Amino acid sequence: MPNVVLIMQRKAIAEALMIKLRDSPHINLIYEPDYNDVLIAISSNNTKAALIEATESGPYNMNYCLQVCENLREQRPECKLLLMCPEQDEKSVKQVVDAKAENKIDDFVFYDVTIDYLESKLISI
């Protein structure tokens, strides 16, 4: 069963996903709230994919998360990268669309997606 690491500050979303998928034969979720431990969490858990939330404020904004993704691409190229971003911030939307086009990330979702959609996205990545 593949491991997927959730790197996010939205603990409620992480918990909802983990509860929904706790008995899933398709995926095992690991929550990592500390963005500084991303590489360790991904490396130590033989991670297939990572969902990384770019926060709207604070240090873990889109620029920071795109840099994390770039580092992960270099160090763990087999790990699929899914970025979660705000749908209302035009600059962030452009950055994430460009990052996907440049293969810096594998896909992205907006904050307002449903848990069911996020579940299907994580299983399919």
Strands 80-85 and 47-53: parallel
pLDDT for the residue 33? 93
Give buried/exposed letters for 31-46 (b at 16+ CB in 10 A, else e). Answer: bbeebeebeebbeeee
Contact between 11 and 33 under an 8 Å Cβ cutoff? The reply is yes
pLDDT by 10s per residue, the chain, length 125: 799 999 999 899 999 999 999 988 889 999 999 999 998 999 888 899 999 999 888 899 999 999 999 999 999 999 999 999 998 889 999 999 999 999 999 999 999 999 999 999 998 88
* Identity of residue 3: N
Domains of the chain, with CATH numbers? 3-124 (3.40.50.2300)
CA-CA-CA-CA dihedral for 90, 57, 84, 87, to nearest 10: -30
pLDDT for the residue 80? 96
